[in-house]
């Protein structure tokens, strides 16, 4: 059931006012980012120097089997730190996985958490960290800034370049009951320090490099074109968009190019810094539903939806897109959108999907509108706007 426009407008205005009251227009305090080949070792040394003796490693099993996590944690092992493992994180992590990790954190008396992996591991690790001093059910933290005020110190080593989760205080956890995506946020969820180490990204498969890269692009674009500009959101969003345009084609052509891998890691990180200040927008609101309904990978869904939503925005996003166009190597808003679509095509991501069913359009639209009213996109989308986007991406 879609609410009347006047109610949706009032809700969005309320959310906007509340967000500005809660967070102000100043930048979110930056945390520590170590950058470059070998930075994972330096990050581990910081954990050692902080006198943590038992550290919970939150990761996924396939990554651990590849030996990448052991490599990231080498310095901890050499320093004699006790590593306690939770490697049960899966794509679209669930509250059950969070509980499994939280139980290990408590039973093993770990004092810090190191997340190694993509957005799923980092998001799960944030909520596991938040259980340190709280007996609340994690589901009760759904919403903006409702996570506990304290959490276990969280360190992160991303092994993809896209999600930006290493730079945000938010996490998305799937509720197994209705398969909905639950957003949880709070200042204590922001990692204490992160390492952007390109050595760990060299074996990333092309399909994941492409999808996560387009997720990063979507973060930069959505943070830049919205009605809220806060702190460093505009500058970091531009660095994200320019970085993806510059480095993604190169990293796809030459996956072992360390400079290009680092360029993409930085672009994704800046995208995270940007959305941590002003949040994502309507593209994510639609893409999240495609993930929930059909398990479309997050980056693939964003890549599909992005150009269509930007066209639907029309004049409301025109001026900002004109400013982004030179970063994509073109001029004008229309050319900027076309360049984003060409980038998607050139990295081999689909423009539509057979998984999306026309019979679901109504339900997807209602949920997408509800979610998007919590964001600060250039304008409020209508049901026909979203249906137009869904028709364009339904094969
Ligand atoms: Fe995203």
Which of 165, 182, 200 is where one domain is finished? Answer: 200
More confident residue, 181 or 328: 328
pLDDT at residue 29 greater than cutoff 60: no
pLDDT band (50, 70, 90) for residue 107: very high
Q: Spell 108-134 as b/e; 16+ CB within 10 A means b.
A: eebbbbbbbbbbbbbbbbbbbbbbbeb
Which of 176, 200, 224 is where one domain is finished? Answer: 200
Of 325, 269, 272, 281, nearest to 305 by C-alpha is 281
188 and 233 both lie in a single domain: no
- Determine the distance separating the centroid of ligand 1 and the alpha carbon of 303, expressed in angstroms: 10
Please report whether residue 26 resides in a domain: no
Please report whether residue 27 resides in a domain: no
Please report whether residue 328 resides in a domain: yes
In Å, what is the CA distance from 51 to each residue of 7, 46, 112, 346? 52, 9, 10, 47
pLDDT for the residue numbered 103: 97
Interval 261-287 mean pLDDT:
96
341 and 196 both lie in a single domain: no
168 and 194 both lie in a single domain: yes
16 and 81 both lie in a single domain: no
| CA–CA dist 86, 98 (Å, integer) | 10
pLDDT at residue 30 greater than cutoff 90: no
- Determine the distance separating the centroid of ligand 1 and the alpha carbon of 50, expressed in angstroms: 31
Q: Which CATH number does the domain housing residue 268 bear?
A: 1.20.1090.10
Please report whether residue 28 resides in a domain: no
pLDDT for the residue numbered 144: 83
Query: pLDDT by residue (tens digit) across 166-205?
Result: 999 999 999 988 878 899 999 899 999 999 999 999 989 9
| CA–CA dist 147, 185 (Å, integer) | 6
Domain that holds residue 51: 33-200
pLDDT for the residue numbered 74: 96
- Determine the distance separating the centroid of ligand 1 and the alpha carbon of 137, expressed in angstroms: 25
- Tell me the β-bridge partners of 353: 394
17 and 48 both lie in a single domain: no
Which of 161, 177, 200 is where one domain is finished? Answer: 200
Say if residues 103 and 79 touch (Cβ distance below 8 Å): no
pLDDT for the residue numbered 32: 82
pLDDT at residue 27 greater than cutoff 90: no
253 and 234 both lie in a single domain: yes
250 and 278 both lie in a single domain: yes
236 and 176 both lie in a single domain: no
pLDDT for the residue numbered 1: 78
pLDDT band (50, 70, 90) for residue 26: low
196 and 212 both lie in a single domain: no
193 and 209 both lie in a single domain: no
Q: Which CATH number does the domain housing residue 176 bear?
A: 3.40.50.1970
pLDDT for the residue numbered 18: 83
262 and 186 both lie in a single domain: no
Instruction: State the total domains in the chain.
Output: 2
pLDDT band (50, 70, 90) for residue 3: confident
pLDDT for the residue numbered 28: 64
- Determine the distance separating the centroid of ligand 1 and the alpha carbon of 75, expressed in angstroms: 31
pLDDT for the residue numbered 164: 96
pLDDT for the residue numbered 347: 98
pLDDT for the residue numbered 23: 75
- Determine the distance separating the centroid of ligand 1 and the alpha carbon of 107, expressed in angstroms: 33
pLDDT band (50, 70, 90) for residue 369: very high
- Determine the distance separating the centroid of ligand 1 and the alpha carbon of 329, expressed in angstroms: 23
pLDDT for the residue numbered 382: 96
pLDDT for the residue numbered 92: 87
- Determine the distance separating the centroid of ligand 1 and the alpha carbon of 309, expressed in angstroms: 15
Please report whether residue 155 resides in a domain: yes
Q: Token match 């423009």: residue?
A: 351
pLDDT band (50, 70, 90) for residue 278: very high
- Determine the distance separating the centroid of ligand 1 and the alpha carbon of 216, expressed in angstroms: 7
- Determine the distance separating the centroid of ligand 1 and the alpha carbon of 299, expressed in angstroms: 7
More confident residue, 47 or 12: 47
Please state which of the ranges 4-13, 100-109, 350-359 shows the lowest mean pLDDT: 4-13
Query: pLDDT by residue (tens digit) across 54-87?
Result: 999 999 999 999 999 999 999 999 999 999 999 9
Burial of 315 (C-beta count, 10 Å sphere; 0-12/13-18/19+): exposed
pLDDT for the residue numbered 217: 98
Phi-psi region of 51 (alpha: psi -120 to 50; beta: other; left: phi over 0): left
14 and 86 both lie in a single domain: no
């Amino acid at each position: 059931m879609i609410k009347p426009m006047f109610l949706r407008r009032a809700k969005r205005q309320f959310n906007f006012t509340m967000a500005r009251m809660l967070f102000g227009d100043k930048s979110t305090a930056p945390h520590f980012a170590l950058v470059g080949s070998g930075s994972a070792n330096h990050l581990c040394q910081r954990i050692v120097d902080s006198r943590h003796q038992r550290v919970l490693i939150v990761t996924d099993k396939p990554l651990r089997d590849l030996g990448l996590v052991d490599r990231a944690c080498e310095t901890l092992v050499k320093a004699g730190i006790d590593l306690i493992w939770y490697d049960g994180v899966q794509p679209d992590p669930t509250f059950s996985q969070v509980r499994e990790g939280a139980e290990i954190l408590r039973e093993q008396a770990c004092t810090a958490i190191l997340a190694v992996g993509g957005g799923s591991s980092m998001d799960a690790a944030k909520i596991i960290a938040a259980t340190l001093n709280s007996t609340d059910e994690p589901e009760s933290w759904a919403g903006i800034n409702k996570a506990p005020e304290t959490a276990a110190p969280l360190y992160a080593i991303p092994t993809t370049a896209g999600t930006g989760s290493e730079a945000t205080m938010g996490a998305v956890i799937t509720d197994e009951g209705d398969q909905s995506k639950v957003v949880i946020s709070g200042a204590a969820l922001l990692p204490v320090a992160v390492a952007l180490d390109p050595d760990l990204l060299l074996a990333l498969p092309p399909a994941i490099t492409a999808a996560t890269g387009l997720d990063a692009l979507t973060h930069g674009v959505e943070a830049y074109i919205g009605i809220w500009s806060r702190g460093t959101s505009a500058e970091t969003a531009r660095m994200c968009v320019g970085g993806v345009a510059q480095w993604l084609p190169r990293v796809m052509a030459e996956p072992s190019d360390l400079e290009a891998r680092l360029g993409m890691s930085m672009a994704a990180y800046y995208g995270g810094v940007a959305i941590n200040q002003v949040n994502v927008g309507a593209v994510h609101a639609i893409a999240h539903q495609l993930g929930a309904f059909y398990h479309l990978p997050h980056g693939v869904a964003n890549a599909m939806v992005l150009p269509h939503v930007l066209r639907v925005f029309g004049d409301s996003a025109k001026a900002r897109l004109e400013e982004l166009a030179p970063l994509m190597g073109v001029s004008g808003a229309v050319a900027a959108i076309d360049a984003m679509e060409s980038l998607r095509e050139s990295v081999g991501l689909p423009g539509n999907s057979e998984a999306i069913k026309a019979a679901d359009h109504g339900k997807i639209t209602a949920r997408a509108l509800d979610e998007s009213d919590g964001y600060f996109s250039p304008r409020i989308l209508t049901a026909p706007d979203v249906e137009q986007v869904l028709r364009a991406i339904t094969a």
